[in-house]
Structures are given as C-alpha cells and as structure tokens.
Amino acid sequence: MKLDILVFGAHPDDAELGAGATIAKEVANGKKVGIVDLTRGELGTRGTAEIRDKEAAKAAEILGVAIRENLEFADGFFTNDREHQLEVIKMIRKYRPDTVLCNAIDDRHIDHSKGSKLVSDACFLSGLIKIDTKFSGEDAWQEAWRPKLVHHYIQWKNLEPDFVVDVSEYIEIKDKAIKAYASQFYDPNSDEPETPISSKNFTDSVIYRARDLGRMVGVAYGEGFTTERFIAVKNLDSLI
Ligand SMILES: [Zn+2]
C-alpha cells in the first residue's frame, strides 16, 4: 500500500502531540496517512507497554490513519546505527510516502532528537539502490524510495517553526486523540506518579500553543513544523 504521508514517533503519542491535527486534516482531505512508532514507550513512568498499545490503536482510529505499526525498538536506548536505520528504511520502502513527518529536532526527551535524526538519515539512505532490504517474511526485495519532503513536528520545547499548518477545524480531533492516552496525561483520579506530561498545565499547553501559532498566522489554531529544505510554493496565492 502506498501512503501519501508517513508519520514517525519515538513513542506512541508523539505523533498525536506534535502533528495530530495536521494528520486529521490530511486524512479529511483524502490523503492516505500512516503512523510508525519506534518504541512501545515501555519506560514511561505511567502505564505499561500493553496499555499504550491499546491507547495507540484507539488514537489511530480517532485520527483515521490507514496503518499504525510499531518497530519495537528499545525505549530510551535505541541508537541511530545501521541496524536501526535498516528497520526504518524497510518501513519507508514498504509505504513509499511522498512526505515524512518525524520528531522534533531538539526536545526534552532524548529519544525525540535521536528519533528525529534516525528517521531523517533513513529517509536519505532509503533512496540508495545499493542498500538491499527485504519485506519481512517475504522473499521480494524492496525498491529504493526516498520521500520528497521530511518535516519535523514540535513537541515539548517551543521551537520556532519554518511553517504553520492551519488546523482550526481539527484541533478537537487532536485533543480527543491525545486523551486516548489516558494513562499518560492529566487525570485527577489517577494514583500513578506525577510526570512532566501528566499535569493539566501540559495538556493545556498543547492547545494554547496551537492557539498562539494560529494567532501569529491569522487563523484560529496552527501546528508548526521545521523542515530540512526551503519551502517552495507554486504561487503566492497558495499562502494564507
Ligand atoms: Zn515521546
């Protein structure tokens, strides 16, 4: 199955927090979008890998993505080396996306910047025909494929975006998808330990950042991204 957009996240919930509304908007526009999580988030202070699997499946349904897979890399300890790059390349070649979205280039959690560079490097390497990969469980070799564009969403740190997507109509879907991760975020009835992302302040911040980015570009809500090359526009009318 060819996808238009493939979204990678170091942990289940990264894609939703960074790009959930953009994903929902692209799906509504008829684009085929998929999510690949690098780890199961098994080191998360709250919840378990099994709980997070279920939450990720629920969030995927809310966003309407075509596929969601998990590479089961080691949370906290995966590295950007040949072994991990090859696994990411297999996903890129399997789904042949034109656009890849991945983690923030700099963030509080070390897996975010690591995952960001790993996916970005794999997008480049995936285009080299002399790197052989096979579909798992099959004999067929995969064809080389390099996504045209790689963008990085913004998560914990307030990075300055290179562009902002108008997500005014989709902020509620994003909010719902984030709340599917009930074990991770604000829940006054939870007796699990507090974490930086379990405070009300954090979940509120996701929405008020979207509002603030929207304010800066003249729409109700926005999601910001950094990108790896200049943004080209077909004409001036395509800018809001
Ligand atoms: Zn994360």
Q: How confident is the model at residue 197 (pLDDT cuts 50, 70, 90)?
A: confident
Distance 109 CA to ligand 1 centre (A): 7
Q: How confident is the model at residue 38 (pLDDT cuts 50, 70, 90)?
A: very high
Sheet containing 99-102: which strands, arranged edge to edge? 67-73, 33-39, 5-9, 99-102, 149-153, 222-227, 163-166
Report whether 155 contacts 17 (CB < 8 A).
yes
Q: What is the pLDDT of residues 138-168, one digit of tens each?
A: 667 899 999 999 999 999 999 999 999 999 9
For 24-44, what is the mean pLDDT? Answer: 97
Quick check: 137 pLDDT over 70? Answer: no
**CA-CA-CA-CA torsion for 54, 121, 103, 219, nearest 10 degrees?**
-120
Strand 99-102 and strand 5-9: the pairing is: parallel
Averaged confidence pLDDT in the chain: 95
Ligand 1 centroid distance, CA of 91 (Å): 20
Q: Which of 125, 118, 150 is nearest to 38 (CA)?
A: 118
Share of the chain above pLDDT 90, in %: 85
Q: How far is the CA of 94 from the centre of ligand 1 (A)?
A: 24
Question: Residues near 64 by Cβ (< 8 Å), separated by ≥ 6?
Answer: 24, 27, 28, 33
Q: Quote the ligand 1 centre to 103 CA distance (angstroms).
A: 8
Residue 132: pLDDT band (50, 70, 90) is very high
pLDDT band with cut points at 50, 70 and 90 for residue 198: confident
Q: What's the CATH number where 86 sits?
A: 3.40.50.10320
Average pLDDT over residues 188-205: 88
The label of the residue with tokens 């939703």 reads 16
Look at residue 215 and tell me whether its pLDDT is greater than 90: yes
Distance in Å, CA 93 to ligand 1 centroid = 24
Name which of 77-91, 131-145, 155-169 the model is least confident about: 131-145
**What's the total number of domains in the chain?**
1
pLDDT at 185 over 90: no
Q: Is the pLDDT of residue 135 over 80?
A: no
**Ligand 1 center–CA 129 separation, angstroms:** 32
For residue 228, is pLDDT > 70? yes
Question: Residue 230 is part of which domain span?
Answer: 5-238
